[in-house]
A and B are shown apart, each in its own frame.
Chain A
Amino acid sequence: MTAEFFGTPQGAYGAYGAYGAYGYSGAYGAYGAYGAYGAYGLPESPVAAEALVTTRDGIVGAPLEHLPAARPGVPNDVQNLKRLSREVRAAIFAFELNSKVEMSVTVDETATATLWRRVGGDQDAARPSFKYREMVEMTAPRQDVFEKQLGFLTGYADIRQDRGAEILSQIAAPIPFYQTISFIDPARTPYTLELLATALRFTNYCEQQMKYALAVKRPIELSPQVQPMIQTPTHGSLPSGHATEAFVTARLIWKLMLHSGTPQYEAGGHWGEMLMRLASRIAVNRTVAGVHFPVDSAAGAVLGLTLAEFVHGQCTGGGWTTSRFNGLCYSPSSDFDWHGLYVAANDHQRVETEGPDGVWAKAKQRRPEGSKAPALAWLWNKAQEEWVDFDPTT
């Protein structure tokens, strides 16, 4: 049996077993290749193999001649995807996404990491060659910003008793929380789940590299009084992986809903707003827990919103966004406020985000560049179909 694999776990503890609730029930597992096989009641075991061997011996008969010819496989064609197990597809999607990015790091007053996006070039040429354009540039704040933000850790610690259940439930990928807003279910929206898992694996790939590059210390290393209510993950503090992933998830679901042609999703922006409120809550809960500074969530939201746009662009050939997080201008007194970064109603990242110490985030919409990734486009279309409502008049 297999459950959807949502990438390398953020926490490295609960694992994205996340999905746990469904995995255990088997509903989702039944979808997987092994699960399906298992469903027929033949476990993989020496006994089963022996049974297959003796069966063949019993019925194989003499070699046939003049068998009708089979067609060759269709190379590099998305038709094949539906015949692949989800694990195999996951590798193909991961290749399409991971191969499109690169990272560089410079160290000045603090570290700056830039996530580059591959553009142009001819993928089908005998020897590919590409250019890269900046997609996300992230500069770590000075150390004193984190020291001053310890005040938030103290204030937020007081509400741990209220948030304990949420925090523990959100250590792994908190898909069930999104399911309370958007109608996601393994039976109803299997491809949406696969798309989200794909996006989250890619997000984790990027965010861990970003954390590694910036090497920001966790609250627990700055004060012995934070005493987090969960274990502190070993990776860096900024950007918050939970914030990054939460905003990727929220924005991708929102895009599916927004482009579904379903009236209640399209007008008013209510679902989008609620998805972002949830993403923000998940991010803030990590500060309540004592493992993140508010500025980590701000950086994570910038990264997550931008990566969601990138994934969407890869899937649809649509536009993308370049963004900049400048921690040197992030005021220590600023709590995390996602409204400063993004307007859900029109799915738009703000051009500039200013705090008491200046502009600390920028974003710019870019026109489509390059074609869509074929396998991802296939997945997106499947997922998008799951959100198209039926017309009662036809």
Chain B
Amino acid sequence: MTYDWIPEAGDGPAPIDAVTFTRLTYGVSSVPDTAWWSAMIELDQTSIAEFQQAVAQDFPQDLLVPAAYDANDRAARPERQFVAIFARRALVDVLNRHGNGYGVVNVHLGLVTPADWLNVDAEPQTVPVAEVAVDTVVTGMIDDGLGIAHELFRKGNGSTRVDYCAILPTPPDLRDVHTSQGRAWNARQIDSLLQALTWSGFLDEEQFYTETGQIDLGAGKFSPLSLQRSHGTHVMGLSTGYAPVADVTTRPIICAVLPPRVVEDTSGISLLPSLCLALQMLSKRASRFQSGGRPVPFVLNFSYGNFSGPHDGTDEVSRLFEQFLAADPAQKRWMTLPAGNGNLARSHGVIAFAETDRSEIELSLRVLPDDMTASHVEFWMPYSKAKTPRDFVSVTVTPPFGPESATVDAKKGQKQTLRDRKGQVVATLLYTYEPAPTARGVITLAIEPTASLSGDRALAPSGRWKITAKQRELSPDKKIEVWIRRDQTLPGYRPGGRQSYFDNGDYQRFGPFGRPLPVDPPDDICPVRRSGTLSGFADGSSPMVVAAYTEQSRQLSDYSAAGPLTETPMSPTPFREGPDAAAKADQSDVIWGVLSAGSRCGSYVRLNGTSVAAPRVARLASEHIGNCEHSAREWLAHAVQEAPFDLADKPAHTRMGQGGISIPVEWTVGPKQG
């Protein structure tokens, strides 16, 4: 097979988001035009109502704004706002162009949402107020499989503590006229289901989760809840699990179940639009818990991470979290996030010419065979508010078995496609510009899957892709930061993506005694770095970001990702150096993980990763948020002093933040009042 690079002329106005563009243009030809895509848009000085009105004129059938946005939300016109929508391809394609005329300044494509998961007639509502005890703290959780029936989420009498559970990946109950996607369950409904399906003291959980819409094996749909170990259940157990004997009534749970990743869309799906919708739904629900006319505090844990984004605090996920945390000024809201597990993933590179006399730097991208989903590498240019940013670097790409591409500069309109002998696009190299507040150019290398079970899918070659960055106008104090988007198949899911990684010969993987090196060696000249691997979600200013440690060895877990952030003038003092603190995620190097709720009542399983460190902090935070006058991160810094867990070898702040914190989790003991 031979391949050729072809320069591409711009097709209409320049695209805003490169991944959305390449997915819609090359990756999803089999998806019908009438399919509903979930998407997250960012509106600039435009209300939702104005946006809807403008779109209705040109695309009357192509937009659905979820009912979770009530009349006030639709009328408000903040400077910027993220909104989750469902839209058809033609509309998304137009919105993803600069100067689209609808007030949309950014687009993030999610996944094809089956029409039968949507209730297009749902109407907004005002959520009724619930008067609760003054020491109540609402606890929130978003994940992709939540075993809400587990006893850790029940009161002493066996009734549920879950006040609200939105299950997005399921057909709606059409009697519920206020939910646009999936089913929303309230405590009364959950309790009556629990009661109806309990026999001789045992809940028939297969039936329970089938009824709630989380399990639908007949439709061939995968749910992590069908497995012994489900991420969401485990994490929720740590953040807000209390045994019925503790009879906890002051920790109502509101939660949302995201769609499971489906590999049928091989273009690289994203759950971000679903997350945006889930946050909106929970935000409305959280405000209803009031004591003396004021909403009680709310602590949300979200144990997801990714590898991509600008990592400077201005990315859309971080700003979405800030929007959510500030959505109800009367309610104190805290949030915990994992630092990420990508420390050793070799997914991050740094291009800087100051340290050496090199004028070009090479990255070897190892693209694996049998990778059924697209791979994306992003080169983030330095911040530049100039209308025409400088041409910082140029990039060429040499695929296995193919020629080196023509140069793609960090300049508007630059685009090359790699085509196979049949003329099909198997890779795209293009420049786009991420508008303010990020204000950075991005050169994206999008590589189509290397394997497919369908005969007509264009396939990219697997192997070593040589990426060469050449110095143009990058000043010595600036860097280009490179991240590979996360693309692997998570445990329990159908095999699909395989994670590409940088395979540079000078990357030193192991230290003395053959142990993996958890930090970059001193004076390392390899452009592939462990530092700066912090999750692309975890660079915002407000959430508490938690690293992972191994209790017995007192070491930070090797996988626990590290700062620092990419510098940006948009936050003169960087928001953070890395995580805020480190919490337990592994018992020992041999006994990995920590115990928490399994998918079925009475079962307890092990899971590790920063995903299980973050909810520990959320658990403790819910005991203190009510009486703390400081910000979440200030509180956490203080909490580390109160219950320090000394870590061996004094890890850098960029890896552990303020340090290790010891947080006991005892299911049978109710929350203390801080």
Contacts and interface: CB of A to CB of B under 8 A. Distances in A.
A and B are partners in one complex rather than unrelated chains: yes
Contact of A343 (B199, B219, B226, B228): B199
Interface string B483-506: 000000000101000000000000
B216 interface: yes
A232 to B, nearest CB: 20
Residue of A155, A273, A337, A345 with most partner-chain B CB within 10 A: A155
Contacts of A321: none
A162 interface: yes
Given A155-B219, A155-B221, A158-B226, A273 B200 contact: yes
B513 interface: no
Interface in A275-323: 277, 284, 294
A268 B199 contact: no
A330 interface: no
Contact of B204 (A151, A155, A294, A339): A339
Interface residues of B, number: 21
A155 B494 CA distance: 11
Given A273-B199, A274-B202, A344-B199, A335 B219 contact: no
Contact of B222 (A155, A269, A270, A274): A155
Nearest to B204: A339
A154 B221 CA distance: 8
Given A149-B218, A155-B217, A337-B207, A277 B202 contact: yes
B218 A151 contact: yes
A162 B226 contact: yes
A270 B200 contact: yes
A162 B228 contact: yes
B292 interface: no
Nearest to A272: B200
A240 B394 CA distance: 65
A155 B492 CA distance: 13
A335 B200 contact: no
Residue of A151, A158, A339, A344 with most partner-chain B CB within 10 A: A158
Interface string B185-229: 000000000000101111010110010000011111110001110
Contacts of B220: 151-152, 154-155
B657 to A, nearest CB: 36
Given A269-B200, A270-B202, A273-B199, A161 B218 contact: no
Contacts, number: 62
A182 interface: no
B222 A158 contact: yes
B201 A270 contact: yes
A22 interface: no
A132 interface: no
B218 A155 contact: yes
Nearest to B197: A339
Contacts of B217: 151-152, 155-156, 335
Contacts of B197: 339
A159 interface: yes
Nearest to A344: B200
Contacts of B228: 162
A326 interface: no
Interface footprint category on A: 20 to 34
Contacts of A152: 217-218, 220
Contacts of B202: 270, 273-274, 277
Contacts of A151: 217-220
Interface in A115-161: 149, 151-152, 154-156, 158-159, 161
Nearest to B228: A162
A75 to B, nearest CB: 46
Residue of A154, A159, A268, A333 with most partner-chain B CB within 10 A: A159
Contacts of B492: 161-162
Interface string B216-256: 11111110001110000000000000000000000000000
Nearest to B222: A158
Residue of B200, B492, B494 with most partner-chain A CB within 10 A: B200
B496 to A, nearest CB: 12
Given A158-B494, A159-B227, A333-B218, A339 B201 contact: no
Contacts of B221: 155
Contacts of A268: 200-201
A269 B201 CA distance: 8
A158 B495 CA distance: 10
Interface string B81-110: 000000000000000000000000000000
Contacts of B227: 159, 161-162
Nearest to B227: A162
Contacts of A345: 199-200
Contacts of A158: 222, 226, 494
Contacts of B204: 277, 337, 339
B193 to A, nearest CB: 13
Nearest to B493: A158
B226 A335 contact: no
Contacts of A344: 199-200
Contacts of A270: 200-202
Nearest to A267: B200
Contacts of B210: 335
Contact of A159 (B201, B218, B219, B226): B226
A294 B197 CA distance: 20
A181 to B, nearest CB: 12
Interface of A: 149, 151-152, 154-156, 158-159, 161-162, 268-270, 272-274, 277, 284, 294, 333, 335, 337, 339, 343-345
19 contacts: A151-B217, A151-B218, A152-B220, A155-B218, A155-B220, A155-B221, A155-B222, A158-B222, A162-B492, A268-B201, A269-B199, A272-B200, A273-B201, A294-B218, A335-B210, A335-B218, A337-B204, A339-B199, A345-B199
Given A156-B217, A268-B201, 19 more contacts: A149-B218, A151-B218, A152-B217, A155-B216, A155-B217, A155-B221, A158-B494, A162-B228, A268-B200, A269-B199, A270-B202, A272-B200, A273-B200, A273-B202, A339-B197, A339-B199, A339-B207, A343-B199, A345-B200
7 cross-chain pairs, A with B, having the tightest CB-CB distances, nearest first: A155-B217, A269-B200, A273-B200, A154-B220, A158-B222, A155-B220, A162-B227
